[in-house]
Structure 1
Amino acid sequence: MSRRKTRKQVFENVEVIDAGAKGKTIAKAPDGKVIFLPNAVPGDVVDVQTFKKRKAYYEGKATVFHKLSDKRTTPACEHFGTCGGCKWQDMAYEHQLFYKQKEVTNNLTRIGHIELPEVTPIFGAENQYFYRNKMEFSFSDSRWLTLEEVQSDEDLGDRNALGFHIPGMWDKILDVKKCHLQADPSNAIRNAVKAFALENDLEFFNTRNQTGLLRTMMIRTSSTGDIMVMIQFFKEDKEKRELILDYLGETFPEITSLQYVINGKANDTIYDQEVICYKGNDHIFEEMEGLKFKINAKSFYQTNSEQAYELYKITRDFAGLTGNELVYDLYTGTGTIAQFVAKQAKKVVGVEAVPDAITAAKENAQFNNINNVEFFVGDMKNVFNADFIEANGTPDIIITDPPRDGMHKDVVQQILNIAPAKVVYVSCNSATQARDLALMDEQYKVVKTQAVDMFPQTFHVENVVLLEKR
């Protein structure tokens, strides 16, 4: 039985009226259904071609622009529209902030049915470009071709790429000339590595065939001036490996941590691989309010250091610590928030599922001479139970910063069982945050909310909520 094809429809002179989830904008079709668009800005008047029809909505794309919105701005990046990294780069920053704030408020009120206090304006970023401290680039011997290149009869020349995956295409890499997300020397390092690899016939990876030498490159920077570069090789070739690593170390002496991985797996994740230090240290340091945080190649750390500092200050302020409280920091990661609030608490207990993260948390606490924190590793829904509370004390305040999926329902229930005076909920996904808040609504009221823009030019937004017992 053949699959029925969706008939494409064209709607003319449609006004884009709003921004929705995952960065898509919203228009209304003549039949009243919503249309989700990936390539328009609220205020545009466009012709739309649909490519998917559902019961309550269409998905489509703007094909003709009759009027451009006054909310638009000129994208800074030449790769905008092809690279999927900065989908809102054509929207002026003040409007990005408006729609991020609106999304958070809508999620809390519509999904969570939460009665909100007066909403504090979103905390915007001073630096809207070159704010990331970590970037990962992929090598490919079959770079993404533009439509013009595909249709051209001319020789396409170099097909190698060092850049980002095309959205939705696991085997196609956009060759990036300049990325506006990470400050130099990131672009200089990436471009130099590509040029050197081509000059010396170092093979770029082919994902489909699982062949080649150079696989990925990660660059991490920090506010202390440290720079980490890690190259992932698909196979060991000592001569070629040392050739490119020596070149990097000599050309960029400011690199303080030069590392590599040999990964012959089908996928390029490094978390089950040995990371080998070739030159310098096996880590870099980030600093915040005199606290130093050791970051290795596998560490999780907020990728916008400046806004992370603001996020943590808001979290600490919401907690309202006096020095007498036992604080639980759930999903503590490498213990950044735990250590950031420790000076103002009696004791902080951090819980995290990733063993390497807890190892780093303990090292950082020792390095910072913080003696009133204790860290435990394990699956949150299994570790955070009545026995754990009995052994470590009943918290006065719980800070929780879960992943995008939010908290497991058993964790939410355990918080309700403990009934601390305050809960500070930090979230990178206000939809799952709203779901969890709805489960807590009978016992807790939302006293404060504060959205924080960690990722300018994207639709992502963090939100901090203070809950107090009713």
Structure 2
Amino acid sequence: MRKKNVVLENVPVSGYAAEGKGLARQDGKVIFIEGGVVPGDVVDVRLAKNKKDWAEGRAVHFHTLSPDRVDPFCRHFGECGGCKWQMLPYDMQLQYKHQQVVDHLTRIGKVTLPEISPIMGGKETSHYRNKLEFTFSNKAYLTNAEMAAAGDEIPRRNAIGFHVPKLFDKVLDIQTCHLQAEPANLIKNTIREYAEANELSFYDIRQQTGWLRNLVLRICTTGEVMANLVIFHEDKEKREALLDHILKTVPGITSLLYTINPKKNDSIFDLEPKVYYGKGYVEEKLEDFVFKIGPKSFFQTNTYQGEALYKVTRDFAGLTGTEVVYDLYCGTGSIGIFVSRLAGKVIGIELIKEAIDDAIINAEQNNVANATFYAGDVIDIVDDAFFAKHGAPDVIITDPPRAGMHEKLVEKLLEVGAPKIVYVSCNPATQARDLALLDVMYTVEKVQPVDMFPHTHHIENVVLLKKR
């Protein structure tokens, strides 16, 4: 069992584990399986890791297919890194996600839990993302079938699509993506066709050459559309010709921008997008709140479920109109503004200054006069003088990144001792770790999972904590 290139035969898949991997048990060993397996499948697994009590590998042959399996709706399934659960009916996806929350809070958190509410599934299970980022590459990923058909001479093709998992320099050329509404595919395919016809070079991440780098699209439920084309260096004549062609060919674009990125990495947060057409931002709505979203703004990627998530957060906060609410990791202020009408005062704190700038604008745009926002680290900002000025919090809302809260922030929360904490998490595993640390002072009163990303294993979870 500990040899290399071991293949386990006729392994029955029984469930799912963390990160959406299939789960099986054989001869007392736990086996984690990649490769699009469904509970009920019987597969052969080639092991990549083989330890005493567990192993990890990929399904290389399917003997029996689960009766629960459904046909994937995307032609790129199995090669693209997204939507890995297309072969699983949506109601079963929700069951496994709900169980994932239960398992993490029970096994990692080890705290006393109330009955966990049924997961809130999404009404829209495709075309639900308001933001997507595509990558240009002169090294298109070729499938095994394409490689076999090519023979000895491997063709080099351009691609605009998504990075292939574990291959940083290969991009899968995407014709139709079902994650975002039109005109997303029309914009992407229009640029590809024009670039090929006019011999515009696609970026080579290894050699740091080429011109076209990334395309970032925002398509909002308000109907507004923003496209940001990222190029490696300025070429005014080529750039204007391409951008004019996009505007002429694709109806409905309300903001068209370009960003010059001469760096080795793809991040644009330290760059300055330039407006070519339109107002340079889009507006999205949650209930009747309107939010300005610029090319570098963070906003909940699924607008429909983002609104559901915020409603749960507001409900858990139990506001009566007088409370001082501290909104930690507030980003562009969306949660704080969403709960503001039921609060006495909202104090938002966020490390990224540009996000705070957007939060201030969003508050003004929505006539929210009882919210103030501060840029900086909570650990540094929140002290006795800050409390003297703003008041101690009655409710703390915290929405940290996937890594969860820093241990020093957890210590700060215990020091502050607010009566209620509403913890919004995109990673129940790190949330469970933090709940265990907070358990010395807080009890878990309510738990509500929310599915933000259908056809993936990702899950959001909201927890209400009350001071003992």
TM range (shorter): over 0.9
Q: Which of residues 11, 30, 43 is equivalent to 1:14?
A: 11
Partner SS for 2:68: coil
The reply to whether residue 354 of structure 1 matches residue 346 of structure 2 is no
Aligned length in residues: 465
- 1:434-454 Cα distance to aligned partner (Å, 9 max, x none): 111111112111111000000
Deviation at 1:157, TM superposition (A): 6.2
Q: Percent identity?
A: 51
Show the counterpart of 1:199.
197
Q: Which moved more, 1:249-258 or 1:334-343?
A: 249-258
Does structure 1 residue 80 correspond to structure 2 residue 101? Answer: no
Unaligned runs of 5+ in 2: none
Structure 2 CA distance for aligned equivalents of residues 193 and 111 of structure 1? 47
> 1:253: Cα distance to partner?
3.4
Partner of 2:34: 38
Code of the residue aligned with 1:305 in structure 2: it is T
Return the alpha-carbon distance in structure 1 between the equivalents of residues 330 and 102 of structure 2: 26
TM-score (norm 1): 0.97
Question: 1:263, 1:273 within 8 Å by CA — same for their partners in 2?
Answer: yes
The residue aligned with 1:129 is 126
**Distance in 2 between residues matched to 1:208 and 1:384, nearest whole Å:** 44
Correspondence for 1:181 among 174, 179, 182 = 179
* Matched AA of 2:131: K
Pair 1:25 & 2:25 matched:
no
Q: Does 1:305 align with 2:274?
A: no
Counterparts of 1:150 and 1:384 in 2: how far apart (Å)?
Answer: 58
| Alpha-carbon distance change, 409 to 389 in structure 1, aligned in 2, over 3 angstroms | farther
1:215 aligns with 2:191: no
Give the structure 1 partner of residue 395 of structure 2. 397
C-alpha contact 1:332 1:350 (8 A) present in aligned 2: yes
Superposition map of 1:286-325 within 5 A: 286-325=284-323
**Structure-2 residue corresponding to 1:382:** 380
> What per-residue deviation string (whole Å, max 9, x for no partner) do you get for residues 400-423 of structure 1?
111111111121122112211111
TM-score (structure 2 length as normaliser): 0.97
Q: 2:254, 2:51 → 1: CA distance?
A: 53
User: Aligned runs of 1:31-430 on 2, under 5 Å?
Assistant: 32-39=28-35, 40-153=37-150, 159-430=157-428
The question of whether the paired residues in 2 share the 8 Å contact of 1:384 and 1:411 is answered with no
CA drift at 1:27: 1.0
1:223-267 deviations in Å (ceiling 9; x for gaps): 111000010010111111111101111112311110001111111
Q: How big is the shift at 1:48?
A: 1.4
1:287 to partner: Cα distance:
1.1
What secondary structure, in the 3-state scheme, does the structure 1 residue paired with 2:461 have? Answer: strand
Alignment partner of 1:182: what SS? coil
Q: Helix, strand or coil for the counterpart of 1:170?
A: strand
Alpha-carbon offset, residue 168 of structure 1: 1.0
Moved more, 233-242 or 373-382: 373-382
Instruction: Give the whole-Å Cα distance in 1 for the aligned partners of 2:385 and 2:110.
Output: 33
- Are 1:6 and 1:51, in contact at CA under 8 Å, matched by a contact in 2? no
Task: Check the 8 A contact 1:358/1:377 in 2, yes or no.
Answer: yes
Q: Which amino acid letter does the alignment assign opposite residue 112 of structure 1? A: G
For residues 263 and 304 of structure 1, the distance between their equivalents in structure 2, rounded to whole angstroms, comes to: 27
State the alpha-carbon separation in 1 of the partners of residues 311 and 156 from structure 2. 48
Maintained 8 Å contact 1:149/1:156: no
- In structure 1, C-alpha distance between the alignment counterparts of 2:48 and 2:448, rounded to whole Å: 37
Classify the secondary structure of the residue corresponding to 2:43.
strand
User: RMSD over aligned Cα, in angstroms?
Assistant: 1.4
Q: d(CA) in 2 for partners of 1:262 and 1:274? A: 8
User: Equivalent residue of 1:464, what SS?
Assistant: strand
User: Contact conserved, 1:11 with 1:29, CA < 8 A, in 2?
Assistant: no
Task: Give the distance between the partners of 1:153 and 1:254, measured in 2 at CA.
Answer: 40
User: Distance between the aligned counterparts of 1:274 and 1:392, measured in 2?
Assistant: 34
One-letter amino acid matched to 1:38: E
Contact 1:348 / 1:372 at 8 angstroms: preserved in 2? yes
Task: Classify the secondary structure of the residue corresponding to 2:13.
Answer: strand
Counterpart Cα distance in 2 of 1:341 and 1:358: 17
Asked whether the equivalents of residues 186 and 250 of structure 2 are also in contact (C-alpha less than 8 Å), the reply is no
